[in-house]
Structure 1
Amino acid sequence: MTKNSLSRRALLYGTPVLAGAAALTAAEPAMAAGSDTSVVSPKDYGAVGDGVTDDTAAVQRCLSQGRAVDFGGPDNVYLITNTLTVYRSVPQILRGHGATIKAGAAVNLMRLGRARHSLDGLNFDGTSQPGGVGVIVEGDAQYSSIVNCRFTNIGASGVSVSSGAHHVTVTGCFFDHCGHGSTVADNNYRSSIYVADADFCAVTDNRVLNCNWGIIFRGDSAAVGINFYTCQSNVITAVSPPVAISQGISNRHGRNGKIADNTVVGFDDNSIDCWGCNTITIAGNSTKGGKDGVFVGDPSSSNIVVNGNTFNRPQRGVRVLSQETVTPALVIGVTIVGNTITEPTDGGVQIARNNLSQVTGITVSDNDIHVAGAGSYGVKVVNAELVRVLGNRIYRPLQQGIHLSGVDITEVAHNTVSDAGYQTPNTYSAIDIVGSNRVTARDNVAYGNAKHAVAITSGVGMTVTGTRWRSLGAGGISNGATGTVLADNVQL
């Protein structure tokens, strides 16, 4: 075996040379290239690798023959004008060590199919073509992995995982300016990473910069969805200015997903969007800008936990909304706990129902909401039921700290509201309850600029107990409801 062939093999496998291959000599390069136990290079098949010569045919011959392919390092740039296919029925290992596959036309650069394949250390340069995906993982390439690769200036998605390609991993990769191609009309392919109806996939530890859309997980139907996926520890930033309606991490019909420890910055629409999802954990993420730090709902959604995230200057930190009109939706079992929301330009947490849909069983607990005069409210709940607003700390909203309208069977307890009606003292109340029934407000604290600690305009079955307030305008409790229970409410 040649010295170069031995070094490539050692890099790929990290194990001693097999005894059966020891008989190969430098005089037998063709035999080495054609053996499943050898490491081959595109240059063994005539590729030049200068970034100018069209190497499509030579690289494809190499991929069609070699089970383990070494592209040779950063000095090698392979210009291609047609899609490379990794279609052998045995797993293939492709290592680049910084070598580049460069688009000479608006084509998909590589397709993986038929087996479990591995890409490591390859660069894909889309040369700002108007279209073309970087790497497509076909549905029959389950368990394939894309590791430590770079995708730059790709017209469509950097990586697209097709329906049925379960257990695919995309980790440690770098994406820059993907999804901006002028001929790409489908928003799914305007993302840097697109995973469609493939279960148990993991997208982790990637840097996704200057993107159109960020990372998309799509299930085609509510009945099946996309299941048991992980999106963790990615850095995702939008191009500036952001593309209209773009999202950082977009989930549709997600099931049993984990979205954790990501950084998402600068998108026009939602930083993390969960449309019709069930059993999703959203934890430890940090977002900046956008409409909602996290959005949950539209069609039926359930069992979503939004925990320990930091949302900086969104319109809203978290929004839960049910508004389907054709088939009334049910959004139920959303827990929003332990988050920090800073300077939201609309408000901290919004929960609402439109049309004939229903929102119920929502908990908003132990959040720090620093409105800081940037937005109107801390927590707003409209036309929902069985909501609990517990132990939140709300600072300097321009209007109400907590606003309830049209709610039923709702508990507001152990919250602290500072300076409701900031900049307009004695105008807005710390806790404002309008047109609602069966609300219990207990053991809340209000101080600063508010007009009232608790104000109720109408409704039945209200209870207001244990309220503490100081330095308020008109007074502590304003009750316009019938039969309200008032007890142990004290000015400090």
Structure 2
Amino acid sequence: MLQPIKSLLSASLLLFLLTSFAVAESTVRDFGAKGDGVTDDTAAIQKMVDSGAQSIRFPAGVYRITGTISIDLDHAGPVAISGDGTATIKMEAAGPAIRVIGTHGGTADPKSVKPNVWEKQRTPMIDGLEIVGAHNEAIGVEINGAMQPTLTRLAVRKCLHGVVLTGRNRNVLVGECHLYENSGIGLYLSDLNLHQINIANSHISYNKAGGIVVRNSEIRNLHIGTCDIEANMSLEHPEAANVLFDVTAGSVREAAIVGCTIQHSSVPDCANVRLVGQPDLPHKVGHVTIADNVMCDVAYNIDMKHARSVTIVGNTLFRAIDACIQAENCSNLVIGANVMDRIKDYGPADTNNSVRLIDCRDSTIQGLHMNGDADPMAAITLKNCSRITVRDCTILDGKKYALWIDGGEKIRVTDCLFDGQGEKFPVHQTGNRVDVRIDDDSLN
């Protein structure tokens, strides 16, 4: 009696394993895609998405598409899109090659997530794919309304934008990605309401209109870490930056840019990190930490207008054209122990290592180390500033003044070393000043 039962169990187990293996091995080619770079595979790929298959796999090949692959998560269910080897999607039309659409309207709080989002839409994933644009308005990936979308090992090039997040999303992960040589923006957060995004270990470079750009959005908890972000500017887009928070509308707060190399452009007025707020509402961009990065080779390493509560500490900044750090109409800045220097191998000694605060208030500059500044006027300039502390700074061998105070009030300078400047007296004061105090120890 036991032998027939064992045989029956063995047959059932074998059938289960064969069925599971067959399901796991289904790919877009099983739905008619060729991957030969010639056939239009759009309909075949969309057919697999619409079938309810939750693992959309691309064997190695080039998949030519002429329209957007649209993934309606509430219809398709939780979907993972992945490539074997180097699978390439070649997008020959305007718009995104892959569009992911969800319905999540809540927050990041689990209590706000509706049951259908957990059941059908959770954690859409894109992994191990290359998307190449063959149309000047092609976009790599667009995501709207998703909960926990995760992009890994994704390469996008020759498109307009690499990845676009728009509408509403929550808890986004972008890691180990290459967003490279696109005519627009690498990672574009546009018209977006988003809390919680981590951008890590990625290479975002040679995108002509910006590397990581936020515009017209409401963003909280934005983390950029251990990325190489380089040369994301062009003469066609002088406003661009490697990292740009454009908050002329909307708000960006609770952001960290940590442990990155951010560099390189000869475009006039370009910046590595640029924060642009609203003149009458400078708190709309704030609670930002910029720490432990290496930045160089631009007009401004850090450029801020109308920002509040920004901490800049632990960075290595060099080879700026106009200034290493410039802030205008900002408040509650802490510019801490950063080093601004130029190593001999990095060209002639013409680096502008300067720090300029213009119409700023309620801020502290502490622990800066600046060597060989070539600014034509001063290493540190305070113009029409109020309630500013400058302390424990070392400014050596500059071209002219160590510190220039032009107007302002309630300024304290203490425990600094200013030495080897081009002017015999290292501090220069002009304009109307009220309650400016400089201790003698700062005038060596």
Q: TM-score range by the shorter chain?
A: 0.7 to 0.9
C-alpha contact (below 8 Å) 1:308/1:340 kept by paired residues? yes
1:44 equivalent in structure 2: 30
Contact 1:377 1:400 in 2 (8 A): no
**Counterpart check, 1:321 vs 2:321:** no
Are 1:146 and 2:146 counterparts? Answer: no
Counterpart of 2:308 in structure 1 is 332
Q: Aligned pair in 2 of structure 1 residues 112, 124: CA closer, same or farther (>3 Å)?
A: same
Matches within 5 A, 1:100-139: 100-114=88-102, 115-116=121-122, 117-127=124-134, 129-139=135-145
Distance across 1 between alignment mates of 2:401 and 2:162: 50
CA 1:216–1:454: 2 relative to 1, 3 Å: closer
Give distance in 1, aligned partners of 2:363 and 2:290: 15
1:233–1:334 distance in 2 versus 1, CA, 3 Å: closer
Q: Distance in 2 between matches of 1:58 and 1:272?
A: 43
Task: State the shift of 1:227 in Å.
Answer: 1.6
The equivalent position to 1:263 in structure 2, one of 246, 261, 267, is 261
Residue 52 of structure 1: how far off its partner (Å): 1.0
Structure 1 residues 259, 43: closer, same or farther in 2, change over 3 A? same
Cα RMSD for the two superposed structures: 3.2
Count of matched residue pairs: 390
Pairing 1:21–2:16 present: yes
1:248 to 242, 258, 265: 242
Structure 2 matches for 1:363-374, cutoff 5 A?
Answer: 363-370=334-341, 374=350
> How far off its partner does 1:170 sit?
2.4
Contact 1:345 1:376 in 2 (8 A): yes
Q: Distance in 2 between matches of 1:231 and 1:452?
A: 42
Q: Which of 51, 59, 66 matches 2:45?
A: 59
Cα distance, 1:344–1:19 mapped onto 2, change above 3 Å: same
Aligned to 1:474: none
State the distance in 1 between where 2:194 and 2:186 align. Answer: 17
Structure richer in strand, relative to its length:
2
Q: Which has the larger radius of gyration?
A: 1
State whether structure 2 residue 174 is matched by structure 1 residue 170. yes
1:461 and 2:435 aligned: yes
- Deviation at residue 118 of structure 1 after TM alignment: 2.0
Aligned: 1:161 with 2:161: no
Change beyond 3 A, Cα 1:89–1:399: same
Task: Go from structure 1 to structure 2 and tell me whether the alpha carbon gap of 1:315 and 1:220 turns closer, same or farther (over 3 Å shift).
Answer: closer
Task: Please state if 1:360 is matched with 2:360.
Answer: no
| TM-score for the superposition, normalised by structure 2 | 0.76
1:364/1:161 Cα in 2 relative to 1: closer, same or farther (>3 Å)?
closer
Which has more helix, going by share of residues? 2
The structural deviation recorded for 1:18 is: 7.6
* Fraction of identical pairs, as percent: 21
Matching residue of 2:107: none
Residues 112 and 321 of structure 1: CA distance in aligned 2, closer, same or farther (over 3 Å): closer
Q: Residues 86 and 111 of structure 1 are in contact (CA less than 8 Å); yes or no, is this contact kept in structure 2?
A: yes
Q: Which has the higher contact order (CA 8 A, sep 6+)?
A: 2
Give the match for residue 212 of structure 1.
Answer: 208
Q: Secondary structure at the match of 1:61?
A: helix
* Aligned partner (choices 266, 269, 291) of residue 307 of structure 1: 291
Structure 2 residue runs without a partner (length 5+) = 1-11, 103-120, 343-347
Give the AA of the match of 1:91: P
Provide the C-alpha distance between the structure 1 equivalents of 2:233 and 2:137, rounded to a whole number of angstroms: 21
1:182-197 counterparts in 2 under 5 A? 190-195=184-189, 196-197=192-193
TM-superposition CA deviations, 1:391-439 (whole Å, max 9, x none): 322323343233333333333333222234x2xxxxx443333333333
**How much has 1:25 moved relative to structure 2?**
11
Partner residue in 1 for 2:70 = 85
Aligned-partner Cα distance in 2 for 1:307–1:210: 23
- Would the alpha carbon gap of residues 369 and 362 (structure 1) be closer, same or farther in structure 2, given more than 3 Å must change? same
C-alpha spacing 1:462/1:317, structure 2 compared with 1 (3 Å): same
Look up the equivalent residue of 1:131 and give its one-letter code: E
CA distance in 1, matches of 2:352, 2:45: 60
Query: 1:53 Cα deviation (Å)?
Result: 1.6
How far apart are residue 91 of structure 1 and its match?
Answer: 0.8
Q: Cα gap change, 1:419/1:212 in structure 2, threshold over 3 Å: closer, same or farther? A: same
The residue type paired with residue 78 of structure 1 is Y
CA spacing shift, 1:214–1:204, aligned 2, 3 Å: farther
1:11-61 deviations in Å (ceiling 9; x for gaps): xxxxxx9876346599xxxxx6xxxx5542222222222111222222222
Q: 1:122/1:412 Cα in 2 relative to 1: closer, same or farther (>3 Å)?
A: closer
SS at match of 1:191: coil
Question: Who is 2:276 aligned against?
Answer: 275
Tell me, in whole angstroms, the C-alpha distance in 1 between the residues paired with 2:15 and 2:210: 47
Equivalent position of 1:442 in the other structure: 414
Partner Cα distance (2:56, 2:141) in 1: 17
1:216 and 1:69 map into 2 onto residues whose CA distance is 29
